[in-house]
Each structure stands twice: as C-alpha cells, then as structure tokens.
Structure 1
Amino acid sequence: MKLRSQRKMGEVSNIRLLKGVATCLLVILVFWQASLPTSAVEQGYVHGIAVDEEGVELRNVSVRVYTSGGALVATTSTGSDGFFGVYLEYGTYDIDLIKSGYAKKSIAIAVQSNDLDIQDIVLNRALKLSALTLSMTASQGDTISIPFTVGNIGEEAEVVEFEISEPEDWSGRILYQNLKTTKVYISPGQSLMLQLDVTVPVNVDCDDYDVSLTAIGTTESSLTFTVLVLPLSDSVIFCQFPGKSVAPGDTVQFQLKLKNPLGAEMRFKISLDSIPANWTASVKSASGEYVTAVILDSNEFVDLVVEVKSPSTAEPGKEYGISVNVESSDGNIMSSLPLNIVLNEIEKDVKITTKFPEVTVEAGELVQYPITIANLGGTDTLLLLSAEPPAEWKTAFKSGTLEVSRLYLEAGKSENLVIEATPPSTANIGTYEILVQVGSEDGVIYAMMKLKATIVGSYALSLKPSTLLTSITTGGSVTFTASITNTGSTSITGVRLGIEAPEEWESSITPTIIEKLEPLESFTFTLVVKAPEDTVAGDYLITLKGLSDQVTSDSVQVRVTATTPTSWGLIGVGIAVVVVIALVLVFMKLKRR
C-alpha cells in the first residue's frame, strides 16, 4: 500500500516537471516571436559585365552605386571576367563604372525584383582617332597630307605617342602646327588637329596600299588609310592659262609651275623653243631673275614666269606659239608645254584711283597714298609705274613690303598698291603735287593722277658757337659755348651737340641732350676741350654740328691755336744762353794759343 502511494507521488512530480518545462519553452517562444520584425526587408541582386568597344571583358573596373539623392551606398570592382555584383534594397540607383584610359560610364537602374541582370556595359576608350578621309589616290613619288583629329574623352590627361605603319620604302611623319612631332599632351575633353604626311616611292608598283596610324596612351586607338598609287605623270610643268590674247607690241606673261615628282633632289634644265622671228621670250623666277635651270627637292614646286614680247609690226589676227621644254639631269623625265598667243587690236583701258588724293603732313614724315590700278581692257598688260615728286622728295610704289616699278595686270583684274612719299625735313610750309603715271615700256601713258601733300610744319636747326677762334696750351683745356636754335615751325626733340676733335683730344659737352626745342627757342651748350701734353704747337680745327631726332644743322668749324707752356720757353732760353757762353769760352781759349 505504501509502495503504491510512493509510485503515485512520483508520477505526479514528473507530470508537474513536464508542465514547467513546457511553460518555459512557451514563454521563450513568445519572446522570440515578439523580437522579430513584423515584415522582412526586400533586396535584389544587381549584376553585369564591363566590356570595351570590341566586347572584351574589362578587369579592375571600379563600380560605385549611388542613391537617386547622390549618397554612395555600395562599391565593388570587376574581376578578370569583367563581372560585378552587389545586393541592393528595392529602389532607384545610379551606377558609375570608372577605369583609367576609358570614359566614365553612368547608368540608371530600378531594383524591383530579387535579381537584376544589366548584361554587358560598354566602356569607351578615352583616346579617339578620327579622319574625314580614309582612302585616297597618289602618284608615284607624291607626298600626300592627311589631316586627322585625336581627342581625349576621358577624365584624366593623356600623353599620346604616335606610331606609323607603312609599306616598305614608304616614309611618314606627324605634323602639329607645321612642326614634326611624335608625342603630344591632351587634357581631358580636348581635341587636337594634326597632319599625317606620307611619301610614296617613285619605283613602287601601282596598287592599293594600307598605312596605319596608332595613338598610344593609357589605351590605344588606330586608323587605317588606303592609298591607291597611280602611275607617275610624264608632265612636270603646268600652266592654268596656256593661251592668251594681246595686242601687237605688248608683253604677255604665262604663270607656270614646275614640280619635281621624284623621291630625291633633282636638277631640271629649262629652255624655250619655236620662238617667232623678231619676238623675245625668257623664263624668269617669281622675283624677276632670268632662269635656265632649277634644283628642286622631292615633290617641291617652284613658280616660274614665261615672258613673251611681240614686235609692234607683228600681224594681228594670227596665232603664234612657243614651247617650254623641261628635262631632268638624269634624262628620265622630258616634258614639253606649248603656249599660244593670239594677236588682236585691243584698246587699252587702264584706270588709277585713290580714296585720299590730298593729305596733310609735317616735313620729314612719311605719307602713304593707297591706290588701285584696274585693267578694264580685254588683254593682259605689263604696266610701267612712275611718279614725279617735288625736288628732294622720295617716292616709291609698294606692294606690302616689296617695292615695285612694273606691274603685270591680267584683263579685268585690279591691284591695290601704296605710294610712299617722304618730304625733306627742310621742306617749307605749303602744298606740293606728285604726278603719278601708268604706261607702257614704249612710253605710252594709259592713266595719270595728281596727288597733293600739304606741309604744315618744317624742321630746321641753326648752330652758333661763342667764338670761331680760340687758343689752348698743350696739356691744358679751353672752355667755350655753342647755341642751337630751332629755326623751323615745328617742335624738335632729342636736341644735342656733335663734336669732331683732333685725334687723342678729349671733349665734354654739358648737358648731353635736351628733350625738346620749341620753334624759335634756343639753348646753349658748354664745351670743354683738352689737348694732350705732347700736342705739337699749331692750329687745329674742331667741327661742331647741331643734332636732333628730326633734322641736322650745318657744320661749323672752330679754329684752336695750340701753344707750349711759358716754363718750357724759359728753359729753352736758358739752354741757348749756356750754349753761347760755352762757345765764347772755347773761342777765347783757341785765340790764346
């Protein structure tokens, strides 16, 4: 009975223990559930692959993720396969992909699912080569110039080197602003215009050839140019207008171009043939020198002029011809160019005009008259320019900085020149005329015009020393003055005194210069002249001249008499007395004997 009661009490204890454990587990479960959020945060996995323009995967690309408000929320980088991935909460983002040598790539995304595949993202190289022409033609021996652009669209500056890949025996170079270069510096966002020069050999076969240009910086960019080589033309001399019409007795000029199409320096002989009787013809350079031969570098041009003059007795209405012959020194190139001249009775109509026929100027100052010479006739004409200025005036016809005396003017064309006239600084106030004439070499005047210049001020200096005769002791000095007067009607600047003294004499002038002298104003300079101690007694001349920035006075000479010091004279007298006494004593001694 007692044993049964004990067993019953044990079962009750076990039941109570199980209830306590269950209660504890229930409490823990309640608290754990209470600690959980009411709903989990939703995220998506964003991934993609960074590639270049050819689809090659890019490694080590920096990937930065920003919220739409600009806050950085994630960073990563691509692996060797160009892949990147990042977990992002649902929302909108901006992703920047950055790699040195490439332009920054920015994309906008919206994360709305647990997986977002952006797929391939293309990054453009920072360096970009571009050209308008990728194919061209050239003759054997030609040098072709190909303009191209290199740009930097990246975020960093680039130092770019160029490599040229050309066929064998071809040569190429890069020019920037006409200077040869192999390397350039390009700032972010900057573009440079350059030029690729390619020289085609003379002995190359006629075919298509590829020339490759590569720009090398952090990355590379290339262009390939295709050149179709054509046979070398037999003609090396060209004239745009090989036929012209002139009046009998006139001179006609043909503008020629001579080209060396070869790949090396060459000498060309030039001659004229089939010149009609009593006609004269010559070949000249653009500067007017007579030419019989020309040396040209590879692909170099030279401008030449063939000048032909028909006699005034030549029959009008006929066509005449001459031939220009060119031969290379090696004999491989021979070319001939025919020139035709038709003689017609054509009336000359030449006009000369200016906008400013009258000007005002100060004496000694340069004056310029812009003029226009027009050939309104129907034939090209060689004009002789002349001007008749007043006495001591200087005149010149100028085209830019070039002084001209003859002008070859084509029919219907005009030429702007400048007549420069300089009156003497001593010209008097008044109005002066300059006669301008345009005519032929035979003395026929086609047009004339009068130009006027009014002198409103003149320059003149006079010089007057305080004495024209003075004396000086050898080894000593003498002081005198000289006055300079502005006798003109205009202010004079930089007034000074010039002096020419005997050799080894010393001189000083006080003051050395004055800034300005008004008309009729004078100024006195003080001169100190010193003679050397070994100066031989006698008369010497000192030449004085008034100087200024505008005019010079006439020279004035001052006579200076140099004498020895008195002490030396007494010494001389003493020596003479001693010599006389010595002679007397000798004479008395001889007399006693």
Structure 2
Amino acid sequence: MKKWSKKVFSSSIVFILLIMLTSLAIPSLAMAQESERDFVISSDYTHIVIGKGTAVELDVKVTNLGKANEDVALSISGPTDWGARIERRWNKYEVRAVRLSSEEGANSVELRFKAKPPQETAKGDYLFTLEGATTDGRIQRSLDITITYKEEAVSEETEIIKLTSKNPSLEQPAGKEFEFEIELKNGFDEERIFDLAAQVPYRWAAYVTPRWEKEKRITATKVNANGTETIRLVLTPPFDVEKGDYSATLEARGGDDAGSIDLKATVTGTYMLKMGSEAEVLGTGETRNIKATAGKDKLVTIYLWNEGSAAISDIAFFSSKPKDWEVTFEPDKMPSLNPVTKEFKPDKVEVTIRPKSKAIPGDYTVTLTASGKEAREQLGLRVTVVTPMTWGWVGIGIVVVVIAALVGIFVRLGRR
C-alpha cells in the first residue's frame, strides 16, 4: 500500500512538473513568434507650426521590420473637423490599409498625412495619432503628430537652395530610362559647390550628368553666386520592373544647407508574346516541319510565353489552314499570360492537325496565331502529308493486277 502511494505521489509530481514546463514553453514560443513580426510608422516631422489658411502635408513611412509579409490597417484619431486622411504620395488616393513585403528594400510604403484646419480654429496645439494594426490585431503601432496652430499667417522663408523641373513626372515603357532635367538655384551671395545624391526605389540605378555632357557623370556641381545650373538626373529601372508609379528624390547639399525635389517615374507595361515549337524550346521533339497522314490526327506541342513586363490578357488561338483541314487547340483560350520573368516557364498548348482524307501527298502550310488584347504572335508549320498505308496496299494490288493482266495478254498473243 505504501509503495502504491509513493508511486501515485511520484506520478503526480511528474505530471505537475510537465504542466508547469508546458505552461512556460507555450508563452515563450508565442513570444518568439511575435518577436519575428513588427512594423513601425514614422515621419521626419512630428511637431510643426502652421498659420491661418495653411494646410498640412507630411510624409509618413510604414516599414515592416519582421520576417513575414504583413497587412496593416491604418486609421487616424484626432480633431474630426480637420479632414485628416492618409493618401498615396502621387495619385492622391486615400489609403486605409497597406501590404508590406518582408524583403529588404521593398518592405516600406511612403504615404502622406494631410489635414486642414477649419476657418474658426482657435490657436493651440492639436494632436493627431496615426494608428496601424495587423489584420490579426496582434501588433499595433502608432505615431503622434502635434500641430501648433497660430491665428496669424506664418511667414515662409525664401528657399536658399531650390531645385525645380518643368517635367517632374515622366512616363516610359519598361526597359527605358527616365531623364529628368532639373534646375539648381544657388541663393547664396557666394559661389558654392553642391553635393548631389538621389534616393531611388529598390534595385533602380541613378546618376547625374551636366546638361550638355550626357556621357559625363557627376556627384557634385559648382553654381555661381545667386546663379542657376541645369543638370540631368537619369533613372534606370531593373529589367523585370513591374508597371506602376515610382518615386525618387534628388538632394543638393552645400555645407549645412540642402534642397531637394520629388520626382515621379511611371512605368508602363510592355507586351511581347512569343511562340515556339517543342524542339525550339526544349531542344527535343517536333520542329516546325512535321509529317501528317491524310485523314488522321497529328498532335503537335507548341509553347507560349511573354517576354514583356506586364501580363497579356484574353488570349485566343486561331489557324490559317488548307480547305477542309481541321485544326484544334487545347486549351483554346488563356485568361492571362504573366511575364516569363515571373513564371520562369512557358505555357504548353496542344495542337491537333487533321489533313482532309483525300489530301494529295505533298507539303502544306499551317499558320497558328495566338492573339491577346495587348499582343499577338504567329507560328508557321510546314506539314508534309503522306497517304495512309491502306491506300499504299491498294495501289500495290492495282499494280499487281495490271501486271498480271498484261502477262496474260502476252501469253495469249504468244500462243497465236
């Protein structure tokens, strides 16, 4: 009995210890998982002073610091009559949620906080809180912005270093460079050398050249007292860039003083539909020269891919063929075809060709066409038609009969 009691007591102790260890391990595991997730909302300016009739526009950045992609919902708390909102920097859409990649260099989104005081606003400090939360609600972050409002207008100081461009927004198809012509003004009463630095999207390249010396690249330029100098900023997107709007900034710094200009590069999609035979794509299989039997199906595999930068939509297949031939495709349509840089493999299409049953042996041309909304491509096939073996035996039989008949005639004539 005592031994049994000791066993029960020992088992109870072990069970309690296991429960305690489990209760300690689970929170530790949860904390470890949470530590791999984080994001931050930031701005260079968190307390500003404005005067009567002045609207507020502040750049805000949301950055993913974790190891997983995150969807973050955004909101603002503060005075409701200021019309506070968060927008995209360029096209002014209101933003209420963002998707943040975990990949370094592509893990942040630049937004703009906007607010405007109503006409009868009293002077004082006004607090706005920008709040963000992951979709599961586990991670919440915020940024406080204080706006001090004065009833009198706040005088604006003249910019000593000023960068301007007649065309701060450019549009180019993927694969093309963006060239911004920028005027740099030196407001000092002395000659100055300004260091030039560009902030560009992830994997983009940038360089600056003098206006008339496009082959010369510079990192600084000298501007006369109260003078101006025109320079060129060239942006080169990566080869696999997606279509969309991209922002860049050029800064000119002279000592402790600096000026900058925000620029916009809009990449439009390129579409390049390609078709190839099995031999051209895989190195083995059918070429563009094929053999088919009259009246019988011939299966041919072709491949389709997109060498552009944007998806090609609504692709349908057609054929140009001799009269009474049949050509079918499987599939006969594609809703979209992504760039090969994303898919890393071409799409396969099975083509069935049936020459008419009474086709004369010889070479024929069949043209296959893939046509989408944005691009189209053709592939020509040379089809060599042969007759079925049954007709060959029939022909041999006819020849044998004719020869036999001739032999019989000669035999009869010889007897006479």
TM-score w.r.t. structure 2 length?
Answer: 0.34
More strand by share: 1
Q: Comparing both chains, which one has the higher relative contact order based on Cα–Cα distances under 8 Å and sequence gaps of 6 or more?
A: 2
